[in-house]
Amino acid sequence: MAEETKNPEVQEEAAVAAPKVEQSPAQENPEQFLKDFNWVKYEEGIDVVDDKQLEEFEALVAQNFVDTLNDEVVEGTVISITDRDAIIDINAKSEGVISLNEFRYNPDLKEGDKVEVLIDVREDATGQLILSHRKARVIKAWDRVNAAHDEGTIVNGFVKARTKGGMIVDVFGIEAFLPGSQIDVKPIRDYDQYVNKTMEFKVVKINHEFKNVVVSHKALIEADIEEQKKEIIGQLEKGQVLEGVVKNVTSYGVFVDLGGVDGLIHITDLSWSRINHPNEIVELDQKLNVVILDFDEDKTRIQLGLKQLSKHPWDALSETLKIGDKVKGKVVVIADYGAFIEVEEGVEGLIHVSEMSWSTHLRSAQDFVKVGDEVEAVVLTLDRDDRKMSLGIKQLAPDPWTDITSKYPVGSRHEGVVRNFTNFGVFLELEEGIDGLIYISDLSWTKKVKHPSEFCAVGDKLEVVVLELDVEGRKLSLGHKQIEENPWDKYEADFGVGTKHTASVDEIVDKGATVTFNEDIVAFVPSRHLEKEDGSKLGKGEEAQFQVIEFNKDFKRVVASHMVIHKEDEAKIVKQQAKKAKAQADEAKPTLGDANDALAALKAKMEGK
């Protein structure tokens, strides 16, 4: 603008003439007016501006210049680029400076580009306006991220890198987290394939306190998938065969993608044969034909089958197979009660533990076979309708009880192995399939055995005598003590009633005491029979002479007395006196002849003779 004169007359003329002009210079070209306006002369009062022009001027300043006291983000124009900085015009009193490092994401920055900036320093030491593009981007980015979250809009993001559990995604310049479970509806095994790719996302979570953003790509397709699921399930029918892709393999089954909806093949529906894990049959990404077994329209669960597409092995089982035939197979499952043998693929038979050996004592199937063994067996039962078969191994060998009477006659001696105990005896195995029982009373002639474990241990060898044989009941009664003579037969003569023995009192027990005569005979002395000659009683450890007053071989019972020893003379006197009295009584009794004479005299008197 040309300089104005300070002559009052000229000013007055200008004031009078001004209303005749349609537009002021500020109105005609506001940008040029602001550019040419001499601020120095105006501030020093050299140039005088009338009130109307001043109002227009202030309006233009408010409209075109940025208030540097306000921290809001503004748009600026790149007017120059140096080696290190970009000069930005934001219509302030001076241009601002931004380091080129803040534009590393945009290597194509050029003069004239519009950029968003934030006033970082209003005036540095040199009076320069310092701007920040990075801070402006962050503020605007958070505004845009919050808006996308609130409005549910779709945003574009650049996958920068892989991290633990997911990916790092650049969204509007903010690093957001993409969990691995939110990449796709199907499990992702190779995360690296998504690095350096631009994808669409949905902002699903924002933590304002920690400035965390979580995005999801899966959320964009879930809604469409749900609609596809409903549409697919609505067209499903039981028995329908579909093609699918193995999506996931677990220990209990296989998940198959049927084109937007998943179905499960349970491990039992994968193969007619037994398998330990589904990966024995299928692998990831494998294409399969499956049959629909069942589905739940409410829960959108589909049960699939693979083995049902092939003929049941029992239907293909040879018609010539019959009871008594020999078959070969592999042990696939072992239980305590038996083992399952796969004789053909999908066809199994059970060998019960009782059919594994002719032995009658209890054993486990693991004692005979293990998983994977190839065995031969005989068909015992065959039910094609119920698809059941029972097998036997012991039938391949002759029954040891066939000639039992010739091998184990009563009275014969044999040696066997102790297999197990019961409270009443010991089970002894004479050979495979032939067991016998030794009752606890037949273990020893002399020892009082309360439990068989006190006498022997499992695995011990014992010599026995066959006491009884029940062929029909397949029972053998054995005796161990019978291999020796009963020592009590001899003891009956040596320790019979009336024999005398010297011994010490072992223990004072209830109602008496015990004394040991030898290693087998421990006699009981009743309390009153412990009395000594002076009237006192024998004590523990005292040695004395005892007389056997009772001997019972069957019950191995011996009763002795010390008292009768010192009272034996008195007993003899009593016996002699008793004997003399008896003799005198016998003499006083009338004889039979005397009685006959008396009766004859009485008869004659009665007859009057």
User: Given the DSSP bridges, would you call strands 543-552 and 557-561 parallel, antiparallel or unpaired?
Assistant: antiparallel
Q: Roughly how many angstroms between the first and final C-alpha of the chain, as a whole number?
A: 213
**What pLDDT sits at residue 386?**
85
Residue 609 has pLDDT above 50, yes or no: no
**What pLDDT sits at residue 265?**
92
Per CATH, 74-137 and 236-309 having the same topology is answered: yes
Average pLDDT over residues 413-428: 89
Q: Sign of dihedral through CA atoms 398, 401, 403, 407?
A: positive
**What pLDDT sits at residue 12?**
42
Whole-number CA gyration radius for the chain: 60
Average pLDDT over residues 83-111: 83
Tokens of 411: 């009275």
> Three-class SS of residue 378?
strand
For residue 207, what are the β-bridge partners? 212
Closest C-alpha among 429, 430, 428, 455 to residue 440: 455
Residue 266 has pLDDT above 90, yes or no: yes
Q: pLDDT: is 583 or 37 the higher one? A: 583
Specify whether domain 326-396 bears CATH 2.40.50.140.
Answer: yes
φ, ψ dihedrals at 537, nearest 5°? -115, 150
Q: pLDDT: is 443 or 188 the higher one? A: 443
Runs of H (alpha helix) within 65-182: 133-151
143 pLDDT band, cuts 50/70/90, is: confident
What tens digit of pLDDT does each residue of 551-598 get?
887 777 889 988 888 776 566 655 665 566 666 666 655 555 555 565
- What's the angle, vertex CA 576, arms to CA 575 and CA 577, rounded to 5? 90
Instruction: Give the domain ranges of the chain.
Output: 8-64, 74-137, 152-221, 236-309, 326-396, 404-483, 487-566, 573-609
Q: Which of 56-60, 97-101, 188-192, 253-257 has the highest mean pLDDT?
A: 253-257
Give the integer Cα–Cα distance in Å for 352 and 395. Answer: 12
Tokens of 175: 């690093």
Average pLDDT over residues 197-222: 86
**What pLDDT sits at residue 54?**
63
**Nearest-10 Cα torsion for 581, 582, 585, 586:** -140
**What pLDDT sits at residue 27?**
55
Mean pLDDT of the chain: 79
264 pLDDT band, cuts 50/70/90, is: very high
**What pLDDT sits at residue 253?**
92
Q: pLDDT: is 316 or 156 the higher one? A: 156
**What pLDDT sits at residue 524?**
92
**What pLDDT sits at residue 597?**
62
Residue 345 has pLDDT above 70, yes or no: yes
- The CATH classification number of 236-309 equals 2.40.50.140
Tokens of 72: 């809001």
**What pLDDT sits at residue 18?**
41
Indicate the class that CATH gives domain 74-137: mainly beta
- The CATH classification number of 404-483 equals 2.40.50.140
Q: What's the predicted TM-score (pTM) here?
A: 0.42
Write down the architecture of domain 152-221 according to CATH.
Answer: Beta Barrel (2.40)
Residue 541 has pLDDT above 70, yes or no: yes
Give the integer Cα–Cα distance in Å for 79 and 588. Answer: 172
Percent over 90 (pLDDT), the chain = 9
405 pLDDT band, cuts 50/70/90, is: confident
What tens digit of pLDDT does each residue of 428-478 get?
888 888 888 999 888 887 777 889 888 899 889 988 999 998 888 888 899
Specify whether domain 487-566 bears CATH 3.40.1160.10.
Answer: no
Tokens of 76: 């600026």
**What pLDDT sits at residue 250?**
92
